[in-house]
Structure formats: structure tokens, C-alpha cells
Structure 1
């Protein structure tokens, strides 16, 4: 079934799809463990059976993206998340025991939390990891017993078209459906009366999504990114730190919400760090232009944006270090490939320092004392990720204790996102709410508190019913005290 929608009008067809799912959800009643596992299994089958077609579609959208990158970041990670939910779902679905007030717990009373599906969840996904950003939240949404409507980015049309066809093949539209289109469809989608809405993308768009959802009091989870810092300690293995940071930054051409934006390096170690970065890239990418392993910018628009950051920095006298062979730093716009560049101590008012980079640039800032690093990070919006490299345990604890971010990785880049047993989400301008694994199951479930009375009418026994008298006075006196 083709769910493609014309740009206008879009509201009515979207509302009809939502009504279809909500009607089916209500008719289904209790969503059993077997039903949830079946839906997860169908997602796994979809990914495994069509992994080659997925790689080809993503390659068409990016122009240059290795199938191994797509298999690792999109297919393997998605299958892993789906299997993690499947493995733990029976345990998560069990009612969670709580303790009734004394003495009711001794008199047969029970208290517990029942996790119920919310209903229909809207999922709005970005272009940078177009498959995983569908299935990572979808694993939690289906595990929690919900149905889903999905709106992918218009910047990856080949991938969206393929996924739309595959979802129609593996699922009824009352279970999962995908709608495609540009900003008009996105605006109408975010205005629907979902039971929950999750959006992954730019902070500016996130504001519009939250505003639209608020009109219907739809709860939202926003994963928005931001400028994520890296701290390289003066104590530690500089070579290993550079290797891990540059490898992580080069991942997907820097087009990840948790990719480092700027890196603090001890002033006296700057030149050694730059040399190590150059050596790392030379080992991984002997060439950049025409190299199928190096991921291009997704399109000419983003190519122009990143090129503009570099050009502005050069014009302002910033030291720019391209990590590539001579003459391979920037391609023509049609190929939209840019080598990873280091920008050394750029001014604070440059675009590379005020905007989320989301591409193959890493700003390097030098420092003398860790306190100035902490103060700098805390003076800015809270990032989605923070990275610390070093062996000084006391310094690490000081950084983690005095800063705030969506997540942290120590001596690693982006691994906090790959751990399905950790919550993933932002704080402040980098987002709100989280998902992944148990935390995602709870995000997309309604936690309903249930109290069951025991065999004694405790209110009558305690004298808390009118007419009041000495018994309630003594009971209150015994309870209201220091």
C-alpha cells in the first residue's frame, strides 16, 4: 500500500491514517508479549532480507557512503536494538511492585506499577543515519505495545521510498505506516494528536515541533544535538586519544548528532596532537576524493554550508589544517566531499563556533587549566554528548561532577549511544526525554499506579472517617512529628 501524500492538502490524509491506527489499537485490547515479539521479528526480517537494497538506497542519497558504513551504523545497530528489546521484553512488561503505606502492607494491600501502551506514536527522523534513526526508537515503540507513524527526512528520498515500500510489505498500515514529503507534511505530521511524538533533528525545527504538539498536549521526546565538547587531559596517552577522537569524528563524515564539535587540548601538546591526527587519517584514508570509504556530505546544500565555515575561518586568519593529501581537501559541489579539517583556536563569533557543525570539521581549543575548560562548557548550552580523555581519576570526576550533558563517554567517542542498556537523550537545548532499551520502553509506556486494598478497612480501623474523635487525634499526633 503506497502511503505517499501530495504536498497539499496533507492534514486530512494524515489524520485518516492516525484514526485507522487508533481504531485498530483500541480494537486489539491488551497487546500480548507474542504480538510485540512478532512485530519486532518482522522488523528484523525486513532489515536482514533487504540489507543490500538498503545500502544501495543510502548510497544514492549520499552520493558516496560505503556499504560497510551503512551495514554497521544503520543495519547492524538497528538489528541489535530490536534484539535487545526482544530479549528483555518479558521482564520489562511485568508489573513493578511498590510498597503500600504501613500498616496496609501487613494487612494484605498491594501496590504496583502497570506499564501500558500509550497508543499511536509519531516518529520524525533525520537524514544522517536514515535507517537506524527509524528503527532505534521503533524498537522501543513496538516493545511498549504501540503502533507507529513515521515521517522520514526529505533529504534522503531514495531511502524513504524504499522503507515506505518495505513497511507496506511487512506490516499492515494500521500497525506501521510511513508518510513522505517536505516541510508541509512535517508541519502537519507534528500537529497530529499522537499519544506520543519523538523528533530527532535540528534545535530550531524542534521548537516548531514542540509548539505544534503542545496544541494537543502531546508528550514529546526531542533529540536535538548541539555542540559537543571533547576534553583531552594533560595526563593520558595523547596518541590513543587522537586516534579515537579522529576516528569518531570521521565516522559518517562527521554527520552525527553526537559527533564532537570542538576539542580542548593542553596548550603545550597542540602540535603533537595535530601530528597524531594527521597520522591517523593517513592510515585510514590514504586518499579522500574518490575514496568509497570516506562519507560525503549528504547534498550540495550541506557541502556549501561546511565549505562556508572553512572559508570564513581562513578569511579571519584561523589556522586551518586539512587532514588529507595535498589538493584533496574540497571537491567540486557535484561530488560534495570535504576532507576532515582542524580549525585551530577559531574566534568565538565564527560560524564554526556558534553553529552545530554536523560535518567534517573539528575546532581545536587550547587550554592551560582544567577549570577554564569546565567554566567554558558551563557558560554554554548543555550539549548532547561530552567526551573526556585521560587517566587522572580525580580530574575526570571533577569534569563529570561539574558539567551537564545528555550523555558521556570516557576515553571513547559515541559508544554511549551504541549501548542499548543506557538511556539516550539530551538536556536543555540538546533535547528532552530519552529512549533506548528499558528507558525507551518506559518512555513509550504509561506507568499506571495500581493499589489493591487488603482484607481490613484501614480507614475505619484507624478512625479516619467522621465522626472524628480521640482515635484520629492520637493517630495524627503519632504521625506528625519530627
Structure 2
């Protein structure tokens, strides 16, 4: 990911940097020449996204699996293919309405003037996509940007080179590069991308790297949408159906082997039900993935470095006295890099597993005495990207929703709020800035331009100098109307 001055120390630009400069200049000119693509052009671009996603499904599935070591086929189809196409089709369905000027009321004292808000394409949008869902998190924001009438440059992660190549080939085959293009490359290209004066930059990744991206973008006052992460809690209320909650939590944590920004990071459970919760999650995990070393349904950790980091989190917790429950065979640890679901029971708060976003199948289980303690636990920490609550007590549920701040919430399940196109997706505080999906995505990549249409019958000149008694009388009338 971006390094502060790495590219500045080498006067020779990489192929990726040169490609970035050429494509950005090309798209900026294309936007100036045609700043407001028609509805038909935008629909055509969205159709191209659907076509390239569906036509290259097998290539994308295989490329992502090769990058991970093993990526569950059905996880890729559900989370990358289906979710992406669904989002693009949602944009197609609503685009005509989104593009319309929005009427707003005009104050009585300004009549007969009219006021409107008119969505306008921003220009060239930069998208930095991550490795964990490398297709969906590249094309979903691209769909929103293209629907809004923009040009798009995508920089995929260097950790998924096979997917990056497949995406580059697919986009190049479908789009003129003045409309949408992919830029590949390593650290130098990534750094140059963040420093390019885009009209908007969307980054999906970790909070520490997000800070550096925001700092680089600030040099050009480039507006940013940062989709980051954090430690997303799952709260098991005393009214919860433990078996149902456990199945949902196990699935949310083990999908993509926990390498999901909205995966439950830890569980808060009443202390007197902790052991029941641990047993139920273990049973649910075994039912979902009976043998992680032999099944293709369970995804590998993306790299040796990430795998070693996760192992060190567990070892640190053990060294600090926490009990650990592993669910699954350890035969898959190497070379497949399949890490079993590992529950860490009441780890010390200074352990690394409670200080860092986990991003893997490690799940701390935290005993709490009551709802107040759970709320304090969450609110004493950075605001999370997601929050999950389980239970049947509506009053308790609403207290938690009112007294916590998170990017999004799913009640009695995990992850699903992200797949709902009518809900904006984004973080709050250190879990992110801004949101997209659905209407929110269209507006994120548009300038919602306010326009005041003065009437030819207006007599606004009565407010011009030189000021007289007549001015005072008009002001008196206006102030009474306000």
C-alpha cells in the first residue's frame, strides 16, 4: 500500500505510474468534452458491467481462488458475482429517477422564483479496491460512479494479481479506456494513485492505510470516501435464541475465513451463558465446515504474512492466560493456510486480539454482566463499521441501537445490511467516511448542485443600495414573513 515518499526517491516512473498519468489525462479530457452523459449512455455502461461480470464469471472465480490459495467457489459467486450484478441492476432500475432534478420549495418572500437541486457528474473517479473481495469492491463503486455519469479508474490490490489481470482484461474488452479502465501496479503505483487529483477518491481497506490515503488526497483537496474497518461487536442479549445466534455468528465469522470488514470481530454475551454460547458456536461451525482441510467450501488465508499474523494473535492471547477453543482440523494449517475457527475466551484487554482488527477466523468471546456493561464496552472503543444484536426483546434492542454509533446494523443476523441496496454502506469515525450503495452511491459521486432560478417578475433590486426608508419597510415585511 502507499508509502510516503517511495516513488519520489526514484526518478524513473513505473509502467503503472505512466499508465495512470496517461489514463487520467485521457479521462479528464473526455469529461470536459462530454460532461453530462445521457441516460442511454449510462445504461449502456451499466450493461457493460453486467456483461463483463457474467461473461467472465469462471475466470474471476478461478483467479480469486488462485490468489487466495483456495477461495470457496460459492462464496465468490454469492459475494462477488451476485452482489455486484444485483447492485448494478438496482442502479439501472432507479437511474432515471436519480438523474431527475429535485424540486425544493422556495420561500414565500422569494417567489415567483424557483429552486432545484440538479445532480451533476463530478468528472473522474478513482477507486482503490482491496484484496478480500477484489471484484465486488472494485465494480460496485464503479457502478455507482458510472450511473452518476463519471469516468472511472480502478486500482486493484497487488495481493490479488490473478484477479487484477482478469479484471484488467475484462474491463479493457468492454469499455473504451476514456470511460472506465484498470491500472495495475505495486506500491509506487498505489502511492501515485492516491496523489492523483481525482474529482473523488474511494478507498476500501484498513484504517491505518486509510489515514495515509486521506493525507495524500488532501494535498489536492480531493474528496474521499473511506470504507475502513474496526472491531465490529456481536451482542447476544439475554433474550436471544442461542442456537440461532450461534449459527449466524459462526457463518458471519467464517465466511471468507473471517477476511471481511464487517465480520463480527468479538461477541459480548451474558457471563452466565458464556459456556452455552461457546458450545453452540462450536457446534454450528462444525456443521458448516465439518473438515476444513478437505473441503473446498472453506477459504484460505490470503498470504503467508497474514496467516502468521493471525497465528501470533492466538499465541499472544494464550501467553496472556486466555483459554482457546479451536474448531476444526489443524491438518490444514500448512500449506493450505486454512485456519480453524478459534474462539478466545475472555482475553485480557491488553492482548493483541482485543487491540487490533482481527480479519480472520479468530473470535473473542467476552463475558458481560448486563446491558450497561455491554454498552460501555462498545462505547469506550472506536466506532465500529458494523454492529450485530441478537434477541427478542425489542425494548432492549432499541436501547442498544440508540446508545451506540456504528456504520450499519443487522439485527438477529450478520452481514446482510451490506447487501441491501436501499441502505447506504459506510463507516463512522475511524471505521470510515462517507457511504455508497443505491441512492447514496449515486449522490456520493455526483455534485448535487443547488440552482436558484430567478423570475423575470422579481423585484430584488429593492434590496440594492443606496439603502433608504423603502429598504427598511421591505426588510420589516420580510422579517415578519420569515
TM-score greater than 0.5 by the shorter chain: yes
Residue correspondence of structure 1 range 145-160 to structure 2 within 5 A: 145-160=149-164
Residue correspondence of structure 1 range 405-416 to structure 2 within 5 A: 405-416=406-417
Tell whether the 8 Å contact from 2:16 to 2:184 is kept in structure 1 after alignment.
no
Deviation, 1:471, is 2.9
TM superposition score normalised by structure 2: 0.95
**Number of residue pairs the alignment of both structures matches:** 470
- Classify the secondary structure of the residue corresponding to 2:330: coil
Structure 1 counterpart of 2:8 = none
Measured in 2, the distance between the counterparts of 1:199 and 1:263 equals 28
Structure 2 counterpart of 1:221 = 225
Residue correspondence of structure 1 range 149-228 to structure 2 within 5 A: 149-228=153-232
Measured in 2, the distance between the counterparts of 1:384 and 1:149 equals 26
Of residues 280, 283, 290 in structure 1, which corresponds to 2:287? 283
Tell whether the 8 Å contact from 1:405 to 1:427 is kept in structure 2 after alignment.
yes
Structure 2 counterpart of 1:122 = 126
1:321-373 per-residue CA deviation (whole Å, 9 max, x = no partner) reads: 1122xxx1363442111011110100111111001000001111011110111
- Greater Cα shift, 132-141 or 468-477: 468-477
Tell whether the 8 Å contact from 1:323 to 1:329 is kept in structure 2 after alignment.
no
Structure 2's unaligned 5+ residue stretches are 1-11
1:244-285 per-residue CA deviation (whole Å, 9 max, x = no partner) reads: 111111111100000011110111111111111121112111
1:276-301 per-residue CA deviation (whole Å, 9 max, x = no partner) reads: 11211121111111210011101111
Measured in 2, the distance between the counterparts of 1:459 and 1:171 equals 50
Tell whether the 8 Å contact from 1:7 to 1:182 is kept in structure 2 after alignment.
no
Measured in 1, the distance between the counterparts of 2:248 and 2:19 equals 47
Structure 1 counterpart of 2:70 = 64
Measured in 2, the distance between the counterparts of 1:100 and 1:170 equals 45
Of residues 39, 44, 69 in structure 2, which corresponds to 1:38? 44
Deviation, 1:16, is 1.8
Structure 1 counterpart of 2:384 = 383
Structure 1 counterpart of 2:7 = none
Of residues 101, 104, 123 in structure 1, which corresponds to 2:110? 104
Structure 1 counterpart of 2:372 = 371
Deviation, 1:55, is 0.8
Structure 2 counterpart of 1:48 = 54
TM superposition score normalised by structure 1: 0.95
2:151 pairs with 1:141: no
Deviation, 1:25, is 1.6
Runs of 4 or more, structure 1, over 6 Å off, are none
2:97 pairs with 1:91: yes
Structure 2 counterpart of 1:270 = 274
Measured in 2, the distance between the counterparts of 1:202 and 1:176 equals 25
Structure 1's unaligned 5+ residue stretches are 1-5
Measured in 1, the distance between the counterparts of 2:429 and 2:286 equals 38
1:196-253 per-residue CA deviation (whole Å, 9 max, x = no partner) reads: 0000001111111111111111100001111111111001211111111111111111
Deviation, 1:428, is 0.9
2:74 pairs with 1:75: no
- Classify the secondary structure of the residue corresponding to 1:160: helix
Deviation, 1:472, is 2.2
Structure 2 counterpart of 1:3 = none
Structure 1 counterpart of 2:5 = none
1:136-184 per-residue CA deviation (whole Å, 9 max, x = no partner) reads: 1111011000011111011111000111111111111111111112211
- Classify the secondary structure of the residue corresponding to 1:103: helix
Tell whether the 8 Å contact from 1:199 to 1:206 is kept in structure 2 after alignment.
yes
Tell whether the 8 Å contact from 1:277 to 1:323 is kept in structure 2 after alignment.
no
Deviation, 1:127, is 0.4
- Classify the secondary structure of the residue corresponding to 1:466: coil
Tell whether the 8 Å contact from 2:109 to 2:478 is kept in structure 1 after alignment.
no
Deviation, 1:65, is 1.3
Measured in 2, the distance between the counterparts of 1:7 and 1:131 equals 27
Measured in 2, the distance between the counterparts of 1:193 and 1:330 equals 49
